[in-house]
Amino acid sequence: YPGVKRYMDETIATAKKLGYVTTLQGRRRYLPEIQRKGPAQRGAERIAINTPLQGTAADLIKRAMIAIHHRLINESFATKMILQVHDELVFEVPKKEEKKVEALVKEEMERALALDIPLVVDTGWGANWSEAH
């Protein structure tokens, strides 16, 4: 894909020029090794390519977790957020709160960051994480 190659080349060039890359939220990751030659430079280039993507995903999930946490407290839910695994959140939800919590979580995750394309969140239910998939 030519767009992917262009992204990679432009990101590496920017990292070499500035010495860092940023997430969409502006969080910086400094990469002094990008100026070196050899394996250290190649490693820094991989980090430069991945950080804007993976770092932005991390920013997004953190913002969603904060918003969800505040709403669960402010709206007096008994539901507890118990675990984050990459881009997934695991909750302990009383049966009577399932529908409302599902809507709340979906809403807050989908609006955690303003993006050019819509962010679609899927939900799942089960007695354990495996069943929820």
pTM of the model: 0.86
Alpha helices by DSSP H, 1-133: 2-18, 39-50, 56-74, 98-110, 129-132
Q: Give the range of the structural domain holding residue 88, as residue numbers without chain letter.
A: 59-132
CATH number, domain with residue 120: 3.30.70.370
Task: Report how many domains make up the chain.
Answer: 2
CATH number, domain with residue 35: 1.10.150.20
pLDDT for residue 52 is more than 90? yes
Give yes or no: residues 40 and 92 share one domain. no
Give yes or no: residues 27 and 64 share one domain. no
Give yes or no: residues 12 and 30 share one domain. yes
| Residue-averaged pLDDT of the chain | 95
